[in-house]
A and B are shown apart, each in its own frame.
Chain A
Amino acid sequence: MSVQAPSVTPAPVPDASARSGGLARHRNAVAGYAFLAPFLLFYGVFLLYPFALGLWMSLHDWEIVGDFREYIGFMNYVELWDDPYFWEALKRTLQFAAMTAPAATLLGLVLALALQKPLRIYAALRAVFFASNIFSVTVVTLVWAMVLNPDRGLIANGLRAVGLQPIAFLADKDWAMPALMVTSLWWTAGLPMALFLAGLQQIPPEVYEAARLDKASRWAVLRHITLPALARTTLLVVVLQTVMHLQVFGQPLLMTRGGPANSTRPLVQLIYETSFRDWRSGYASAISTVLFVLMFGVALLQFRLSRQEGE
């Protein structure tokens, strides 16, 4: 989900044929919608309609299988308010995003700063750090569940080698969440790095040249030139990362199943289980609506902040 895109609209095109009267206008209308029709069909059927249907379902007691559908107004939302599982999942989701997004942003920034030179060795290192991004969530969780395994995992082997007790990271209430965060960081940190590298390339070289002539220290250049120039990129990265990590699903589903003791179940997993395990699709739709509002809020915040900054 890109959050800055909607601000870009096509400028009016001065079309030669548009000036030549009604027939050309009519032809343009037919052509325009003919080109758009295939996409709009899918867009309408598989995005707009289900979005509306989701809101509608959230006002119903709606069973996933069978025909049981009863209009109950805002009862699902009232139930949400008193549902400890919902609050727990909301808390875990916010916790996960609030920890992982800044960590990924910082790691991405540090890597980008360390690897921005155009030499081959740096390019190879950039490729290494970005590579984990291309694996599917099931590959990542399979690999990390094994790495973290207390009996024969990579970390357990290492701990034993230096005489320490292995830890059952994914079964321990205090370790499970950090373990999921590290896994997610490994999976996604290449993206912020790539965005920061793009941001760094946009800083005009003359600025650095001037600093070099002034014999400014490396630290001063970083603090007074590089970091301020990356402010916009940083905002974008933080928002993208936050929105992305609010949607966390595969990692807890496959690595901890939301446990131990519900300590790692995020909203998306709650939606998934409520609808497809407990068959309560109406209630699940109400949770989806909350998640949507949450993500929309973050995007809106970014939009306002970037506007303020532009002024």
Chain B
Amino acid sequence: MNRTLTDRLILALVVAFAFVWMMPMLWVLTLSLKPNEELVRSTNGIIPWPRTLEHFATLLRVSLTPRWLLNSVVVAVGMTASTLLLSSLAGYAFARIDFPGRRAVFLLVMAGLMVPEQAILVPLHAMFADWELHNTYFSLIAPRLAGPMGVFLMTQFFKAVPRELEEAAELDNAGRFKIFWSVMLPLSRPALTTLGIFTFLFAWNDFLWPVVTATQPEMYTLSVGLGSLQGNFAMSEGLGFLMASAVFASAPMLILYVVFQRYIVQGIAITGGK
């Protein structure tokens, strides 16, 4: 059998498999566009006909979904901006400043990579309960800023930046912070983009901590809200609405994925998905 023929066979198989892979999403998209009367009769078919946007209209008009969308945006933007700032500051210190105890502090911080979120879930809940800070944007964001992954990435990145670039600025007698801000940060656009997109994705899809800290429906993120709909909705009544919610919650991520695919794959591959 010659090579190109084998290649074609493999390709055909993978294309078929890819179609099966996409089926669940395509089907859910179809259901979200079908009118309720049609859904009662049948959930068959991939091309929706007749189609309607009524479920999406309901979603925006009568449900809490717009509020959840707002919460998700605030949490994701807040977490991303803060992570970028904290990680690049700390990464710069570890990579470029020779301060006493650096090695020990670095090891202490990296040890945090070994602590899974589940191990601190219960005590974190107790802390926020003591402070009476559950159901706030602060509680949704702050615990996620303690993860050392961003610091690790930025440290690695800053170490790879040639020293000459900084030394020129040092000769001008520029202060540490000025060098960091106006020389190093502009240089680290690619690293910051990868880390930023990855953090945004993580924040958007975060579930375990948000479901614990956000107990009032007004403070749900989209991810938690969707989970609560699954629990409360009888599968038959609001099927189109439920499917529209799933489509609505994943649409922003899909758009982000189409635009920034390279960075997302890179970020998830580097960090091992966490």
Give the segment of B54-62, B186-194, B205-213 that binds chain A. Answer: B205-213
**Per-residue B-contact encoding for A40-54, CB less than 8 Å = 1, 0 else:** 101101111111011
Besides A42-B146, A114-B10, A146-B28, 12 other A-B contacts (C-beta < 8 A): A10-B155, A11-B159, A13-B98, A46-B143, A46-B146, A54-B122, A111-B14, A136-B222, A146-B239, A240-B272, A295-B114, A296-B114
Q: Determine if A36 and B124 form an interchain contact, defined as CB atoms under 8 angstroms apart.
A: no
A130 to B18 Cα, complex, angstroms: 11
Q: Kindly supply a per-residue 1/0 record for chain A positions 182-193, scoring 1 wherever the CB is within 8 Å of any chain B CB and 0 otherwise.
A: 000010100100
* A177–B207 CA distance with the chains assembled, in angstroms: 21
- Is B264 a contact partner of A143 (Cβ separation < 8 A)? no
Chain A contact residues, CB within 8 Å of chain B = 1-3, 5-6, 8-13, 15-16, 18, 25, 28-29, 31-33, 35-36, 38-40, 42-43, 45-51, 53-54, 57, 62, 64-65, 111, 114-115, 121-122, 125, 127-139, 141-147, 149, 151-154, 157, 186, 188, 191, 194-195, 198, 218, 240, 243-244, 247, 249-250, 254, 267-268, 271-272, 275-276, 281, 284-285, 288-289, 291-292, 295-296, 299
For residue A136, give the distance in angstroms from its CB to the closest CB of chain B: 4
Tell which of A25, A146, A194 touches B269, judged by Cβ atoms closer than 8 Å. A194
Chain A nearest CB from B23 CB (Å) reads 7
A31-B176, A64-B126, A291-B116 known; A136-B250 Cβ under 8 A: yes
Query: Do B261 and A250 touch across chains, with their CB atoms under 8 A apart?
Result: no
Q: Can you pick out 12 interface pairs between chain A and chain B where the beta carbons lie within 8 Å of each other?
A: A31-B97, A32-B97, A32-B99, A36-B105, A47-B112, A53-B123, A125-B15, A146-B31, A154-B43, A191-B269, A288-B119, A291-B118
**Complexed CA–CA distance, A152 and B29 (Å):** 15
Q: How far is the CA of A145 from the CA of B27 in the complex (A)?
A: 13
- Contact B223–A292 (Cβ < 8 Å): no
Q: In the assembled complex, which residues on chain A have CB atoms less than 8 Å from the CB atom of B148? A: 43
Partner of B205, one of A38, A137, A143, A198: A137
Contacting residue for A6 out of B24, B99, B110, B224, CB 8 A: B110
Is B98 touching A12 in the complex (CB atoms < 8 A)? yes
**Least CB distance, B120 to chain A, in whole angstroms:** 4
Question: Quick one: which of B195-251 are within 8 Å of A by CB?
Answer: 201, 204-208, 212, 222-224, 226-227, 229-231, 235-236, 239, 242-243, 245-246, 249-250
For the complex formed, measure the closest distance between the CB of A170 and the CB atoms of chain B, giving whole angstroms: 11
